[in-house]
Amino acid sequence: MTLPYAEPYKIKMTEAIRTSTREEREAWIREARYNLFKLRSDQVTIDLLTDSGTGSMSDRQWAAMMTGDESYAGASSYFRLKTTVAELFGMPWFLPTHQGRAAENVIFSALLKEGDIVPGNSHFDTTKGHIEFRRCHAVDCTIDAAADTQLELPFKGEMDLAKLEKVLAENPREKIPCVVLTVTNNTAGGQPVSMRNIRETAELCRRYGVPLLMDSARFAENAYFIKTREEGYASKTIKEIVREMYDWADIMTISAKKDGVVNMGGFVAMRSEELYKKAMSFSIMFEGYVTYGGMSGRDMDALAVGLDENTEFGQLDARIRQVRLLGDLLDQYGVPYQRPAGGHAIFVDAKKVLPNLPKEQFIAQTLAVELYLEAGIRGVEIGSILADRDPETHENRYPALELLRLAIPRRVYTDNHIRVIAAACRNIFERRAEITTGYRITFEAPILRHFTVELDKIR
């Protein structure tokens, strides 16, 4: 018989998980003002809030940390990471930062001015936050198909080239400092972008003289989907595909806490020495000297190893198989989600689970709270709360999709945990008719409100 699949690693250390009663969870979420970010980690049984910084590092990464050079300037750890970045992405100019939003802060400080327009394929929360904080405009140019959660497409996170060209053609060049291409497209459900779309987006940007910035948090997962879904790439290695992806980019930002499989870290890299020198000043101001940028030497060494290891097919295959397992189980139970299964998470379609709940009562957040009450599972709303208010009208923005993201940390949970998650979703789906009211906001910050928002149950 053909041998069954087994993960390409073994487990060297474990951490105990605390279970809780529904009564305890009801009290805890009430104290947290129905914001799952405000829960303590020991009040959570299975934590799917994010895959960012929550993965399990390898023995090679832990060993590399012991070689960390903590020199303030010129640390050898910096040069090891710089070499890895240059080899993997082909970007000669590089600034480490403590995480992805810091990389955005550095590069947008160098690129953006008030009134600018930044088109992209579903800017994620911090990206849009940095753009709007600078009184600029993020214009979504994602393909329309991404809004249909039941439509099966191999590359559902792509840039709509007609939408992008319309923005480029109708605005003066000096108003568009860059185009942002996010791989994979998190907001649209962890959906990938094909090499063809990357190339055609880059060619369009070059025709209009606008640099292409790739938001790269899950670049390796995107490369995996290119290898497994796009014609002509099956025989290429993940590293070869990554290099081809970034040959089309001018700038990249990355939260390395995802596909770098580290607890903290990020960077911005670019081809232009002139832009590097401009960004360098902001890096020193906000992050630290250019050879550490808010990262310790040991973290830079762990990241260098993580980038190398996680651009091997076996590691990515194990990770994405587990996400796919959750999708397959939800299919069996009839629970709707953004199809096909994404690279880092399953995004449950909250509108289809709770079709009678008014959008003003925050559908995806209501589902997120229900999942926590059901089984102590913490997911995150990708919907109206995350969308923030319109900065000009101050009205709530209601996106086409209301999703509950269940982000799977790398090498942390077993398939049995996945089965618990699926069963909890099934239980909620089967009693969905009983969920008739949602939540109202009692406190919100003016930007990125989802992190600190406070809510009250509508009775």
Catalytic residue, chosen from 160, 215, 250, 349, is: 215
The domain locations on the chain are 22-51+313-457, 59-309
Token readout for 295 is 């990262």
Structure confidence by residue, pLDDT tens digits, 80-106: 999 999 999 999 999 999 999 999 999
Catalytic residue check, 124 = yes
Catalytic residue, chosen from 72, 333, 398, 443, is: 72
Instruction: State the angle between helix axes of 100-111 and 125-133 in degrees (0 to 180), rounded to the nearest 10.
Output: 30
Q: Is the pLDDT of residue 221 over 90?
A: yes
Average pLDDT, the chain: 97
Q: How confident is the model at residue 459 (pLDDT cuts 50, 70, 90)?
A: confident
Catalytic residue check, 89 = no
Q: Candidates 3.20.10.10, 3.30.70.920, 3.40.718.10, 3.40.640.10; correct CATH number of 59-309?
A: 3.40.640.10
Instruction: State the angle between helix axes of 195-208 and 238-247 in degrees (0 to 180), rounded to the nearest 10.
Output: 20
Q: Is 21 helix (H, G, I), strand (E, B) or coil?
A: coil
Catalytic residue check, 78 = no
For residues 420 and 375, the answer to whether their CB atoms sit within 8 Å is: yes
pLDDT value of residue 391? 85
Give the residue from 144, 142, 209 showing the smallest Cα distance to 181.
142
Strands 380-382 and 403-407: antiparallel
pLDDT value of residue 449? 93
Catalytic residue, chosen from 78, 108, 124, 413, is: 124
Q: Is the pLDDT of residue 387 over 90?
A: no
By CB neighbour count within 10 A (0-12 exposed, 13-18 middle, 19+ buried), where does 81 fall? buried
Catalytic residue check, 341 = no
Omega of the bond leading into 201 within 30 degrees of 0 (cis): no
Catalytic residue, chosen from 258, 344, 351, 417, is: 258
* Residue 296: its H or E element: none
Terminal CA-to-CA distance of the chain, rounded, Å?
58
pTM above 0.85, yes or no: yes
pLDDT value of residue 311? 98
Catalytic residue check, 175 = no
Catalytic residue, chosen from 32, 138, 217, 269, is: 217
Catalytic residue, chosen from 125, 160, 259, 301, is: 125
What mean pLDDT is predicted for residues 253-273? 97
pLDDT value of residue 125? 84
What mean pLDDT is predicted for residues 62-91? 98
Question: How many residues does the structure list for the chain?
Answer: 459
% of the chain exceeding 90 in pLDDT: 95
Q: Is the pLDDT of residue 249 over 90?
A: yes
CATH annotation of 22-51+313-457? 3.90.1150.10
Give the residue from 432, 453, 435 showing the smallest Cα distance to 444.
453
Structure confidence by residue, pLDDT tens digits, 107-149: 999 999 999 999 999 998 889 999 999 999 999 999 999 999 9
Say yes or no: do domains 22-51+313-457 and 59-309 share a fold.
no
Q: How confident is the model at residue 388 (pLDDT cuts 50, 70, 90)?
A: confident
Catalytic residue check, 64 = no
Catalytic residue check, 450 = yes
